[in-house]
Amino acid sequence: MKTLIFFFSFMMGLPLSLLGQDSNGEAYLLKGNDEVRLNVFGEPDMSREVRLTATGEASLPLLGSVKLGGMSLGAAEERVAELYRGDYLVEPRISINLLNAASERVMVMGAVLNPGSVEIPANTTLDLVSALGSAGGFTAQAQPEKIELVRGSQSFVYGFAQLGAADSNPIMLKHGDIINVPTNPFVNKSVTIVGEVEAPGERPYPTSGTLELQTLIGLAQGVTEEADVNLIKLKRADRVIRLSLPSDSAFPILPGDVVTVAESQYVDEFVTILGEVGRPGPVAFPKDGKLDLLTALSLAGGFDRLANKKRVVVSRQVNGVSKAVRLDVAEMEEGQTGLFFLQPGDTVTIPVRRF
């Protein structure tokens, strides 16, 4: 019995700041909604039980509202004693005892399904991933690569993939932590593609933040037969950028860009092949504007067996005057002479070979 009385007396004699420790052995820090017992020795009328406000203030006799949240019990005792000293009490002796610790909470904000306060259950811990789960997880607009954890004056940024890695340590939370999940900056952004594509119109910008010209054209289901892929215009704010395929396939497209695929100037243009070929008549001019004589003859079915390859005539209107040039296609086929390129409106005549 004497031992028990001695132990009780010993404990009562200890400063309460030494008793105010959390489960980890660290000094307990007061927080909003905690209940404490204020003892002012020699002044029983000033001693009372006090509940801190949600923001950590305590309403104390004579002093009014005093901020105690974030302080250890020892620091709170010193603060209150300092405020009483002089004007109210000559040599105040103050003790503050924690009666009931309020539940610990963190705030989860931003692009989560259920933003708000998340409780850290008593005598347990809460990690960052679990807190996000308690908030319902991410919205479709979230940017999980940049989750911000604010702790006092410090700020940390984590990627969700990093948090979920098998070799990563869980990020344990503390009371008062604030987690903010930002909205992806590319959400509700778009680009526009018009002109000679199969499905022109506005397209959502990828939330990945990257989009290339060739990919955008693919999203528009490709170019039409009348498109000139060498005449692609990109309008970006006040700038106009000229592009072509395939050389600019990987050109980066940004939100707000307007891409126009021009119609080929050679639409409905043709050359005429006459004489000794398999299919005499008009040959459509390629949309890229490049058509050589050998290709045109091939498109017309090739030479007949009686064709005179050495005396092929190409007629062309130049400033309203018809001009003709005679070509040896046999030498051209053998690579002895260079290719001859046609222009829209040209007429190619292949005569009969004479024996």
Residue 28 and residue 93 share a domain: yes
- pLDDT-based confidence at residue 176 (cuts at 50, 70, 90): confident
Burial class (CB in 10 A: 0-12, 13-18, 19+), 77: buried
pLDDT single digits (tens) 271-328: 999 999 999 999 999 888 889 999 999 999 999 999 999 999 999 999 889 999 999 9
Which pLDDT tens digit goes with each residue over 118-171? 998 777 889 999 999 999 999 989 999 999 999 989 999 999 988 877 677 889
Number of domains in the chain: 4
**Residue 44 main-chain phi, psi, to 5 deg:** -60, -30
What is the rounded distance in angstroms from the CA atom of residue 311 to the CA atom of residue 303? 13
Q: Is the pLDDT of residue 257 over 70?
A: yes
Instruction: Give first-to-last CA distance, the chain, whole Å.
Output: 141
Provide the pLDDT for residue 156: 95
pLDDT at 13: 38
Q: Which of 238, 263, 288 is the last residue of a domain?
A: 263
What pLDDT does 14 receive?
Answer: 40
Q: What pLDDT, on the 0 to 100 scale, is given for residue 4?
A: 38
Those residues with Cβ within 8 angstroms of residue 315's Cβ, 6 or more apart along the chain or in another chain = 322, 323, 324, 346, 347, 348, 349
The pLDDT of residue 19 is above 80: no
Tell me: cis bond preceding 246? Omega within 30 of 0 counts. Answer: yes
Instruction: Flag whether 154 is in a domain.
Output: yes
- Residue 239: the pLDDT is 95
How far apart are the C-alpha atoms of 208 and 8, rounded to whole Å?
A: 65
* Residue 1 within any structural domain of the chain: no
Q: Could you say which DSSP state residue 342 is in?
A: -
Strand segments (E) across 56-93: 57-60, 64-67
Mark whether 165 and 231 lie in a shared domain.
Answer: no
Q: Which helix (H) or strand (E) holds 201?
A: strand 201-204
Which band of pLDDT confidence, cut at 50, 70 and 90, is reported for residue 219?
very high
Q: Which of 184, 174, 77, 188 is nearest to 131 (CA)?
A: 174
Among candidate residues 209, 229, 263, the one where a domain is terminated: 263
CA distance 229 to 20: 75
Question: 203 or 265, which is more confident?
Answer: 203
What pLDDT shows up at residue 32? 86
* Pair (167, 195) in one structural domain: no
Task: Tell me phi and psi for residue 326, to 5 degrees.
Answer: -100, 135
Q: Residue 121's pLDDT is what?
A: 79
Q: Residue 7 domain-assigned?
A: no
Residue 315 lies inside a defined structural domain of this protein = yes
Q: What is the CATH number of the domain that holds 170?
A: 3.10.560.10
Handedness of CA 21, 26, 27, 30 (dihedral sign): negative
Helix-then-strand count for the chain, H and E = 8, 20
The pLDDT, as a whole number, for residue 288 is 81
Instruction: Tell me, yes or no, whether 2 lies in a domain.
Output: no
Are 106 and 131 within 8 A, CB to CB?
Answer: yes
> From edge to edge, which strands make up the β-sheet containing 347-350?
281-284, 270-275, 347-350, 312-318, 321-327
What's the rounded mean pLDDT across residues 6-14?
Answer: 37
* pLDDT at 166 (0 to 100): 65
Query: Of 162, 105, 78, 3, nearest to 11 (Cα)?
Result: 3
Same domain for 71 and 117: no
211: buried, middle or exposed (CB in 10 Å: 19+, 13-18, 0-12)?
buried
Domain annotation covers residue 4: no
pLDDT of residue 79: 95
CATH number of the domain enclosing 68: 3.30.1950.10
pLDDT confidence tier of residue 46, bands split at 50, 70 and 90: very high
In tens, the pLDDT along 269-282 reads 999 999 999 999 99
Q: How many residues does the chain have?
A: 355
User: Whole-structure pTM over 0.95, yes or no?
Assistant: no
When comparing pLDDT for 255 and 24, which is higher?
Answer: 255
pLDDT of residue 17: 40
Q: What is the pLDDT of residue 25?
A: 52
CB atoms within 10 A of CB 311: 17
Residue/partner pairs of 89-93 with CB below 8 Å, 24 or more apart: 89/40, 89/43, 92/40, 93/40, 93/41, 93/42
| Least reliable range by pLDDT among 86-90, 177-181, 336-340 | 86-90
Would 331 be classed as within a structural domain?
yes
Q: Does position 23 have pLDDT exceeding 70, yes or no? A: no
**Residue 280 belongs to domain spanning:** 270-350
Number of Cβ within 10 Å of residue 137's Cβ equals: 13
137 and 154 fall within a common domain: yes
| pLDDT of 11 over the 50 cut | no
Asked, for residue 237, whether it belongs to a domain, the answer is yes
Q: What is the mean pLDDT of the chain?
A: 89
* Assigned token pair, 186: 């590319």
Residue finishing a domain among 100, 129, 158: 100
